[in-house]
Amino acid sequence: MDEFRPLEEYGLIGNLETCALVGQDGAVDWCCLPYIDSPSVFADILDPDEGGRFSVTPSGEFEATQQYMERTNVLQTTFETESGTVTLTDFMPVIEERENEEPQRRGIYRQVACTEGTVELDVEFSPRFDFARAETTVESIEEGAFASGDDRRLFLSSPVDLDTDGDGATATFSLDAHESAWFTLGYMMHTPDDDENCEALLDRTVDYWREWAHSCDESECLFGGVGHDHVVRSELVLKLLYYRETGAMVAAPTTSLPEDPGGVRNWDYRYSWIRDGSVTVRALTGLGHVEEATGFVDRFLEHSREGDTAEVQPLYGVEGEIDLEEEHLDHFRGYLDSQPVRVGNEAADQVQLDVYGDLVLAYYQRFWSDGGEISDENWESLSGIADYVSEHWDDEGAGIWELRGEPRQLVHSKVMCWIALDRILDLADRTGRDGPLDEWRDAHEAIRSSVLEHGYDEEVGAFTQSYEGTEMDATGLLIALSGILPFDDERVVSTVETVQEQLANDDGLVYRYEDDDLEGDEARFVFCSFWLVNALVAIGRTDEAWTVFENILDYASPLGLIAEEIDAENDRQLGNFPQGFSHIGLVNSAMYLREGDYDWANVDPLGGPTLVQEGDQEDQQGFEGKELTQESER
């Protein structure tokens, strides 16, 4: 029985429609086709016996390393064997429809090239459609193999003859130095099997990523010094989680990678959360990628205009689907034997009042990118949000952690409602827009008074998770960044210190909360650990913040990828992988740590400071913006 591969030994490739995980053994162990929230075709990461894989691997023993081609999402796995060395290059072309050109081919492109000696390689092609629930048929064709199942088709173009056994295909072949071979797996249509066409697509894909990702003189870059390369990799990961067709931002490309190995904390993150997308947008905007921000904000403001604002869900499918019914795949073992394996997510039906603050913060960033103008449609959406929040801020809910027990009066949710009104009122002042401003101001003050009276526990010395109890929650760190109190207020400082004492370890890795209503335990939550960095900066402990930041970076994979959680005791990553929240946190903490040029009156509690200063809204292009460049000693 095959063992499960550590998450740190996977790389991610994608095409802004879907993604694939490629292991250090050369196996595609996870891929959903044709879209990121479609049923899987390869799912060995969830079940090494039944999930399905597509591997190109040396026949004998080998040592492997992985790297990305510089400033791209093109992955290279190098195998060192006793007889020689080969490099496997994996990528998915980003679909760009160009005038007077045939549509580009969708697929996974794999080139294996021998650079030294002679290497024998094994190929295994064993797709399993519909999460391995559909009958799969694999047949030999002249160019390679044809697979079908669940009304879906795959075409594998192979340079070597494949042996098929009905539900899979295999081959063994050798390459000598300076020889190479292309395997192309197409879906929806055949992929080109001509080496020249494949090389051209590789070049075009490399160019696409390098033109999109930032380039800089690191000595003059805002993010120069510690963490620079991690920021660049995070930028590229976040782009892979962007579903270009609709502007959706996906939380992670995987489902049911466990927070607690062997336990039940296994969730499907292949959807677009308002919260996750909002902070992703603000990170990408800070990096100069305004197009992604525009698409996301427009999409969710449109949702808020459709019917009652209360109908805005915390999450949607990438095409805007609202029915994300949860089901269990009981036939899968689950990663590290963790069940249930879930697809769908019933959190879509929860009340999460904090998402209104997230959406307003995303628009607030967009407002500056738009030159300080608000369209009539967008003001209509913002007004609807302000009306709804004014009436419902004191409702109970599930909150940011999507707690599955009884709804509660959650402190963070109320703070985010306050932020929603705070930023909308600020926008009204700046633009002269009208509305029931007095009612919004009354609610704005009522929320603040309620949070300060009921959210802070004198005996605990901190803002707690809810009005009903004294349990600590990492969201207390965001009080320091919300603007509801000054940074140096003793209640803010005490909350940061209490979170450190009760929820953080010596490296600064933070648990989300003390307890919830589920069985088992979870590991340290990476996003919360970056919140600690930001909060420490806010209260003036920058040196300490740098130490925590560098400690977190030490847990990134060799490729710079980070999962949802870190099991510090066993030095491993857990949860869905790679996680957008984690990479957002990295980018935004890098911004906080270089806060010298920022306007801290516009702090964004989940993301970073608003990267526009009063009276200077020009040339704000992230890495290249002259106002964002400063010297750093680190």
Of 282 and 610, the structure prediction assigns the larger pLDDT to 282
Residue-wise burial string across 298-335, b where 16 or more C-beta atoms lie within 10 A, e elsewhere: bbbbebbeeeebeebbbbbbbeeeeebeeeebeebbbb
Tell me the per-residue pLDDT of 31-63, one tens digit each, with 9 for 90 and over. 999 999 999 999 999 999 999 999 999 999 999
Tell me the per-residue pLDDT of 93-103, one tens digit each, with 9 for 90 and over. 997 755 445 55
pLDDT, residue 99, reads 43
Q: CA-to-CA distance for 202 and 73, rounded, in angstroms?
A: 11
3-state DSSP assignment of residue 27: strand
Q: CA-to-CA distance for 622 and 466, rounded, in angstroms?
A: 37
The span from the first CA to the last CA of the chain, in angstroms, equals 48
DSSP for 584-614 reads HHHHHHHHHHTGGG--GGGB-SSS-B-S-BT
| CA dist list (Å): 384 to 314, 362, 379, 542, 585 | 16, 16, 8, 39, 29
Of 516 and 442, the structure prediction assigns the larger pLDDT to 442
List 456's β-bridge partners, or say none: 463
Indicate if the pLDDT at residue 479 is higher than 60. Answer: yes
3-state DSSP assignment of residue 183: strand
21 backbone dihedrals φ, ψ, rounded to 5°: -100, 130
Of 403 and 176, the structure prediction assigns the larger pLDDT to 176
**Model confidence band, residue 628 (pLDDT cutoffs 50, 70, 90):** very low
Indicate if the pLDDT at residue 296 is higher than 50. Answer: yes
Q: CA-to-CA distance for 173 and 112, rounded, in angstroms?
A: 11
Greatest distance between any 2 Cα atoms in the chain: 78
Which value, in Å, is the radius of gyration of the alpha carbons in the chain?
Answer: 25
| CA dist list (Å): 25 to 1, 79, 574 | 16, 8, 20
Average pLDDT over residues 57-71: 97
Among candidates 348, 355, 438, which has minimal Cα distance to 389? 355
Q: Which fold has domain 218-628?
A: Glycosyltransferase (1.50.10)
Tell me the per-residue pLDDT of 532-551, one tens digit each, with 9 for 90 and over. 999 999 999 999 999 999 99
| Residue 397 DSSP code | B
Q: CA-to-CA distance for 368 and 381, rounded, in angstroms?
A: 17
Indicate if the pLDDT at residue 606 is higher than 90. Answer: no
Q: CA-to-CA distance for 473 and 464, rounded, in angstroms?
A: 6
By residue count, the chain amounts to 634
pLDDT, residue 519, reads 73
Average pLDDT over residues 379-387: 92
DSSP for 279-345 reads HHHHHHHHTT-HHHHHHHHHHHHHHHHSS-GGG--SEE-TT-------EE-TTS--GGG-S--EES-
Average pLDDT over residues 511-540: 89
Q: Which fold has domain 7-212?
A: Beta-galactosidase; Chain A, domain 5 (2.70.98)
The answer to which of 81-90, 194-203, 248-257, 513-522 has the lowest mean pLDDT is 513-522
Of 605 and 368, the structure prediction assigns the larger pLDDT to 368
Ranges of each domain in the chain:
7-212, 218-628
CA angle 115, 121, 126 (to 5 degrees): 135
pLDDT, residue 284, reads 80
Indicate if the pLDDT at residue 633 is higher than 90. Answer: no
Q: CA-to-CA distance for 438 and 33, rounded, in angstroms?
A: 51
**Model confidence band, residue 190 (pLDDT cutoffs 50, 70, 90):** low
Residue reference for tokens 């595609």:
28
**Model confidence band, residue 428 (pLDDT cutoffs 50, 70, 90):** very high
Q: CA-to-CA distance for 419 and 434, rounded, in angstroms?
A: 19
Mean per-residue pLDDT of the chain: 88
pLDDT, residue 613, reads 33
pLDDT, residue 591, reads 86
Q: CA-to-CA distance for 542 and 496, rounded, in angstroms?
A: 13
Indicate if the pLDDT at residue 634 is higher than 50. Answer: no
Q: CA-to-CA distance for 19 and 253, rounded, in angstroms?
A: 6
pLDDT, residue 461, reads 96
Q: CA-to-CA distance for 80 and 85, rounded, in angstroms?
A: 5
Share of the chain above pLDDT 90, in %: 71
Q: Say how many CA atoms lie within 13 Å of 69 toward its Cβ.
A: 19
The enclosing H or E element of 495 equals helix 490-503
Among candidates 353, 218, 214, 358, which has minimal Cα distance to 297? 358
Residue 116 and residue 230 in contact, taking contact as beta carbons nearer than 8 Å: no
CA dihedral 315, 316, 317, 319 (to 10 degrees): -140
**Model confidence band, residue 404 (pLDDT cutoffs 50, 70, 90):** confident
| CA dist list (Å): 376 to 373, 434, 465, 548 | 10, 11, 37, 44
CA angle 232, 244, 108 (to 5 degrees): 75
pLDDT, residue 603, reads 54
Q: CA-to-CA distance for 446 and 449, rounded, in angstroms?
A: 5
Residue 571: Cβ within 10 Å count: 11
| Residue 509 DSSP code | -
Tell me the per-residue pLDDT of 554-581, one tens digit each, with 9 for 90 and over. 999 999 999 999 999 999 999 999 999 9
Tell me the per-residue pLDDT of 307-335, one tens digit each, with 9 for 90 and over. 556 567 889 999 989 899 999 999 999 99
pLDDT, residue 614, reads 36
The answer to which of 36-50, 279-293, 444-458 has the lowest mean pLDDT is 279-293
Among candidates 26, 72, 28, 90, which has minimal Cα distance to 54? 28
**Would the CA dihedral through 492, 382, 273, 108 be positive or negative?**
negative
pLDDT, residue 366, reads 76
Indicate if the pLDDT at residue 342 is higher than 50. Answer: yes
Indicate if the pLDDT at residue 350 is higher than 80. Answer: yes
Classify residue 179 as exposed, middle or buried by CB count within 10 Å of its CB (0-12, 13-18, 19+).
middle
What is the pTM for the complete model shown? 0.92
| CA dist list (Å): 576 to 21, 175, 350 | 12, 36, 21
Average pLDDT over residues 179-187: 95
